């Protein structure tokens, strides 16, 4: 799992604000978690194991607590396991391992964790939450989040930089949703009116994800056209040089 902190072997292209936030947050958590990461290494635990356990904890927290309306405790469990992302990255750095496999595993399990979180919300609103509209919004958040990630991965796989961050990326989706879910969970402790925070957050994430998806599609379309124009210009230039060489040979 990993966008708040750069994943193993995976470059990040944050905006200035996100870069500053990541810089200070990463420095803080590095100091806090480095001893624990070193302890796990001494015990023979691998970064991949931590990644798998962290994702398992997030999935369990989301699909066990959220469908029952236990938003507060579900968020507590998920947040605890989300920190595994910081631990596995720290372990990989201490071990000097920055592998393609680690990046692939992180990215793949990120999608699994995200799906479980928004799937948990959807199950709650389809059941005890009794709100089909919010169930649909949760499913849209789940789907759009996966597609937003796919557009960047697919664009990069065909050789395009996809040089856009977008309005709402994974870090924003998780922070907004989990904070709102955790606070909304105080409704079970008798705090009045606070349950509305999660529906508001889901709508914000849904709209933001749609905007981000459009931004990435437009960017890929523009970069694709530019790349094809550059290739055509290069071919024309090569053709011109080829004709010129033939012409000079005929003249001699």
Residue 223: Cβ within 10 Å count: 18
Cβ-based neighbours of 148, under 8 Å, separated by 6 or more:
166, 169, 209, 212, 213, 216
127: three-class secondary structure by DSSP: coil
110 a catalytic residue: yes
Candidate list 110, 130, 131, 236, residue with the active-site label: 110
Is residue 62 within 8 A of residue 74, CB to CB? The reply is yes
The terminus-to-terminus CA distance of the chain in angstroms comes to 67
CA distances from 82 to 20, 34, 165, 189, 215 (A): 21, 16, 22, 25, 28
Supply the residues annotated as catalytic: 110
């Amino acid at each position: 799992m990993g966008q708040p902190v750069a994943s193993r072997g995976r470059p990040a292209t944050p905006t200035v604000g996100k870069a500053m936030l990541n810089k200070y947050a990463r420095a803080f958590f590095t100091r806090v978690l480095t001893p624990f990461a070193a302890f796990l290494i001494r015990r023979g635990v691998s970064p991949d194991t931590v990644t798998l356990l962290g994702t398992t904890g997030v999935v369990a927290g989301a699909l066990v607590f959220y469908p029952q309306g236990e938003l507060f405790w579900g968020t507590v469990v998920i947040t605890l396991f989300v920190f595994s992302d910081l631990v596995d990255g720290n372990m990989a750095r201490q071990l000097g391992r920055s592998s393609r496999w680690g990046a692939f595993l992180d990215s793949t399990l990120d999608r699994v964790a995200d799906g479980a979180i928004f799937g948990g919300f959807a199950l709650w609103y389809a059941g005890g939450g009794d709100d089909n509209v919010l169930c649909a919004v949760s499913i849209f958040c789940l789907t759009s989040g996966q597609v937003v990630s796919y557009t960047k991965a697919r664009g990069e796989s065909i050789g395009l930089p996809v040089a856009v961050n977008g309005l709402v990326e994974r870090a924003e989706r998780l922070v907004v949703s989990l904070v709102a879910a955790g606070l909304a969970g105080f409704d079970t402790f008798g705090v009045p009116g606070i349950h509305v925070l999660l529906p508001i957050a889901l709508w914000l994430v849904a709209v933001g994800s749609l905007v981000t998806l459009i931004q990435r599609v437009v960017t890929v379309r523009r970069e694709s056209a530019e790349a094809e124009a550059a290739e055509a210009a290069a071919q024309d230039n090569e053709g011109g040089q080829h004709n010129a060489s033939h012409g000079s040979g005929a003249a001699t």
